[in-house]
Every structure is written in C-alpha cells, then in structure tokens.
Structure 1
Amino acid sequence: MLDLPLWAWLVCAGVLGLLVGSFLNVVILRLPARMEALWRREAHEALGLDAGEEPLPPGIVREPSHCPHCGHRLRAFDNIPLLGWLKLKGRCRHCGARISLQYPLVEAAVAVLSVLVVARLGPGGKALAGLVFTWMLVALTGIDLRTRLLPDQLTYPLLWLGLLLSLTGLFVPAPMAILGAALGYLSLWSVYWLFKLATGKEGMGYGDFKLLAALGAWMGPGALLPVILLSSLIGALLGGALIVFGRHRREVPIPFGPFLAGAGWLWLLAGDALWGLYAQLAGWR
C-alpha cells in the first residue's frame, strides 16, 4: 500500500469515480438496448421466423462514444467526465441537440460515492471491494430506473463476487454469505408469490430477488431485514411524494431495485451506525 495521506486517496477516489461514472453511463444506456435486440433475435430464431438484417445496437466496449441524436463521434476532450459536458454547455457540438443531464449527474454521483467509500472503509482491499460494489449498484439503479430491468449480466457477477470475497472474510465469513444469499432470494420470492396468489398481480420482478441475494452474499443474513425495511420505507416516502406532487401516476409501478441498492449501499458502509441510532431512539441504550 502506498504511503499517502488520506486526502490524496480521496482525490484519487474522486477522479477514478469520474472516469468510472463515464463508463457506467455507457453501460446504463447500451446494455438494455443490446439485450433487447438479442432477445428479439433469439425469439425469431426460436419461432422459426426470419429475423431480417436488424443491426445490433452499439456494444459497451468497442464502439466509440457518439451523439445519440446524429451519431457524430465525440472528440477526446468532449469525453472528459463533467468538463466535456460543461464545455459543450449540454449540447452536441455537431447537431446542437441537448445532451441528457444523466451524463454529468451519474459521473458526479459516482465520484462522490467513491470518495465516501474510501473515507469510510479506508485505503485498502476493503475499500476496493466497496468501490466495485458501489459501481455495480449504480449501474443497476440507472438501468432499473430507465427500463425496469435488473440484468443478470450485473446481478449474478455481484452475487458471485460477494460469495468469493466471503472466502477471505473481508465482510462476512463464507457460511454467512451463503446463508444471506439464499435467504435474500427466498424472502422476496416468497413475498412475490404470496402477493400474486392474493391479488393475481406481480408486485416485483425476479431481478429484485437476485439483487437482494447479492446483498445477502456481501453482508450476510443479518443485513437482510434492515435493508428490506429501509428500502421499503424510502420507497414508500419517495413514491408517495412523487404521486402527491403529480410526478408519477398512481397506476404506473415504481421500480424497487434502486431502493434496494441504496439501502444495501448505506448498510454496507454505515450499518453499525444506523443500528446504533435505531437502538438509541428505541430506548435500548
């Protein structure tokens, strides 16, 4: 480990977060489109239909960044996180179309979250794992908000990484990680089927089960109930506020994945502090 002061590590975390945030924007925008195109191609093949010559959307790694409106390839400076968007004043240099606020917001958010992870966990392997955990949750949150999908391409690696890290005991030992993953999946799976049998409707998607299983693998079974309660509370408050102020129609479902991701991130970094605060408020201390 390099002998650097904490502030230097925080600066490095912020810069790295900006760069990763720029890449996560690509993942959030391109992965669902690529998945849907592949699903259509597979469905045509399964039904014996001619899939035609529909080109696949751009991939995540090989295709360079370009304007989604006119397809103009971005210059190197335009791709600099935050600075490029500010320099262009939020518009494409070629066609003048507006560039979504998602780009600078995700980059800034990932930078801030990365700094908080290193500040909380300290420089070292635990912080590195926490950064990967954070970045994957940001990608899942962005995709779920846009498409109501939690892709297996992200939830499964997050799950397996949590299980593998448990072999080192970095966050929880392996038995607790395995139990947390199993209980995480089965708890929401049970709620899903009870709700469906009672109402005939689907209250959540299978991606939510897998995400909670991944969180259980990282933090063990003891974190599951607090994460579910915290995510439900945040979801109820935010969803109610959006409906009251007319930002969301009552009949349109609100994705639960972002609330699970946010609660899981908070609990990984500050679970002990949150539990202590709850105990104090409840009069246990």
Structure 2
Amino acid sequence: MALDAWWGPVLGGVLGLLFGSFLNVVIYRLPKMMERQWAAERAALAWDTPNHGEAPPAAAQEVFNLMTPRSRCPSCGHAVRWYENVPILSYLFLRGRCSACKTRISIRYPLVEAVTGAVFFFCLQRWGISAAGMAWCGFCAALIALTCIDWDTTLLPDDITLPLLWAGLLASAMQWIAVPLYASVVGAAAGYLSLWLVYWGFKCATGKEGMGYGDFKLFAALGAWFGWQALVPIILLSSVIGAVIGIVLKLLSALREGGYIPFGPFLAGAGFTALVFGPQAILDAVLQFVGL
C-alpha cells in the first residue's frame, strides 16, 4: 500500500482510540443507568398514596448519564483531568493507578481503547473512508460494548442491540454492506426466532432459562449484518468457544454463582471473526475442529 493510502486507516485508528475511551464510559455507566431506571419504576409501582393516584414525588438524585458527571475515580471520587484521560498514554503515565489515591486502574480500560483503535484501523484499511467503512466501525464498537457489559452484568442492553439491528438493515438497504436486503431481513428474523425457540424448548424441558432475550436480539443483529447464510457458522463458532471456555472455567472453579457464563461475548466474538475471515471460513474451521 502506498504511503499516502495509509493516512485514512491511521486516522481511523486514532479516532478509534478516542472512541474506545468513550466506550469505557458506556460500559461502566449504561448498566448503572438501567438499574436506576428500574429502581425508579419499582418505586413508582410500589407507591401507596391516598392522593387519588397521584404520581410519587421524584427522588432527589444526582444527574447520572453518559455525559454527566465527569469521569472520576470510583474509590476516592477524584475527578479525572483531561490529561489523565488520554487513551493508553495516560494509563502508562499514571502506571495504572489513580493519581490521587493510588488505587489500581483496571487494565481493561486501555485494552478497550487499543482494541477499538485496532478494529477501526482494520475497517478503514479494508473499506476505506466510506459509508461501508464507517458502518463497520460502528458495528465493531457496538460489539465491544456489548461484550464487556454482558460479561460484567449478564445484560445486553436494548439501547445497543436494537440500534445495531436496525443499523444492519439500513446498511443493507443503502447498499453500504455486501448483503442483499432480503438476506438481511431474513437473517434478522431467523436469528431472533432460532434462539427464541431454543430458549423455550430448554425452558419447557428443564424449567430453567438457558439464555436471555438480549441474546436473541444480538443474534438477530448479526443476521441483519451478515445475512441468513451466516447464522449457522456464527452460532456454531460461538457455541464451541463458549463450551470450551465454560469447561476451562469449571476446571479452574472460576464459574460464577449458579455455574453460568454469559453467551453474548461468544456471539460477539463470532461476529468479529465473521467480519475478518468471512462466515464460510468459520464454518470450515468449526467442522475441522469437531472432526467432520
């Protein structure tokens, strides 16, 4: 590649680092925002008042969203200064510790930034600065956020999965991605219904819930982005990897209470693999792995 052709991917990588910093905020705050909303809804439902059904007074709470308040140390409340929030470099400069209380900062913060920068670089290197390149960057960012949130909380927020689904259909309709609209729509429907049927089959057979509704929506979104033909390779790869990691965690006695692991990260990992290598390569690799 000529030197002047590298500036686009490099610029994308830098923007990815910055966007990765924002994804760290989303990963940390979005589940807490959801919990606050649920708590407010429960309080409203439980409100018992003689005031003829008047709504309960709103609880006085600090404004908490993706923009407010400023980022701060969860241990001591130290407000993060701008120069302490430079992707990767600030973590290295601070030696992975809060500048005020010296509490260790999770290595995941710079890792999320680095991975986001890498996938943005990859997308713009493959598709250039184009609608397709921007679309796939957004796709990757959503999967990174969903992976971390689901691993931490076993939640796949509708605020991310549903826009990801509609974005895939829109990208197909606008011909930003090489998936015909028919294949995208059928992929979304089949992705949702297939896991929905598995969920209810498992629940009827065992009385337990084997997965959450967020998994249906994420698989539907992957069907929208890759088409219905990619669903079998994606679910096979995610299932095989999930089973292997589950066995390893069980052997290490590292499973969570209840003995479960979230499925969303493995679906997202299969989505990344499909993006890089293509669904057919996934299918061939899985069949070779299981000896077929």
Assess same fold via TM > 0.5. yes
Q: How big is each residue's C-alpha offset from its partner over 1:220-279, in whole Å with a ceiling of 9 and x where there is no partner?
A: 110111100010011111221222233325842100000001101211332156158559
In structure 2, the CA distance between the partners of 1:250 and 1:63, relative to structure 1 (3 Å rule), is closer
Q: Which whole-Å CA distance do the structure 2 matches of 1:273 and 1:191 have between them?
A: 24
2:47 is matched with 48
**Counterpart pick for 2:90 among 70, 84, 87:** 84
1:196 is matched with 203
- State the 1:124 CA deviation: 2.3
- State the 1:78 CA deviation: 0.2
1:150 is matched with 156
Query: Could you tell me whether the CA contact under 8 Å between 1:15 and 1:111 is conserved in 2?
Result: yes
2:119 is matched with 113
1:205 is matched with 212
Q: How big is each residue's C-alpha offset from its partner over 1:123-177, in whole Å with a ceiling of 9 and x where there is no partner?
A: 4221211100000000011100110000000001001111111112223122211
1:17 is matched with 16
RMSD: 2.3
Q: Which whole-Å CA distance do the structure 2 matches of 1:203 and 1:276 have between them?
A: 24
**Paired letter, 2:208:** K
5+ residue gaps, structure 2, are 49-55
In structure 2, the CA distance between the partners of 1:63 and 1:241, relative to structure 1 (3 Å rule), is same
In structure 2, the CA distance between the partners of 1:89 and 1:22, relative to structure 1 (3 Å rule), is same
- Give TM-score scaled by structure 1 length: 0.91
**Counterpart pick for 1:236 among 240, 243, 266:** 243
5+ residue gaps, structure 1, are none
Query: Could you tell me whether the CA contact under 8 Å between 2:154 and 2:262 is conserved in 1?
Result: yes
> Is it true that 1:38 corresponds to 2:37 in the alignment?
yes
- Give TM-score scaled by structure 2 length: 0.88
Q: Which whole-Å CA distance do the structure 2 matches of 1:19 and 1:120 have between them?
A: 20
Equivalent position SS for 1:91: coil
Q: How big is each residue's C-alpha offset from its partner over 1:204-227, in whole Å with a ceiling of 9 and x where there is no partner?
A: 000000001111111111011110
Query: Could you tell me whether the CA contact under 8 Å between 2:96 and 2:106 is conserved in 1?
Result: yes
Indicate the percent of aligned positions where both proteins have the same amino acid: 49
Q: Which whole-Å CA distance do the structure 2 matches of 1:11 and 1:87 have between them?
A: 23
**Paired letter, 1:28:** I
Q: Which whole-Å CA distance do the structure 2 matches of 1:234 and 1:153 have between them?
A: 26
In structure 2, the CA distance between the partners of 1:273 and 1:185, relative to structure 1 (3 Å rule), is closer
Query: Could you tell me whether the CA contact under 8 Å between 1:180 and 1:217 is conserved in 2?
Result: yes
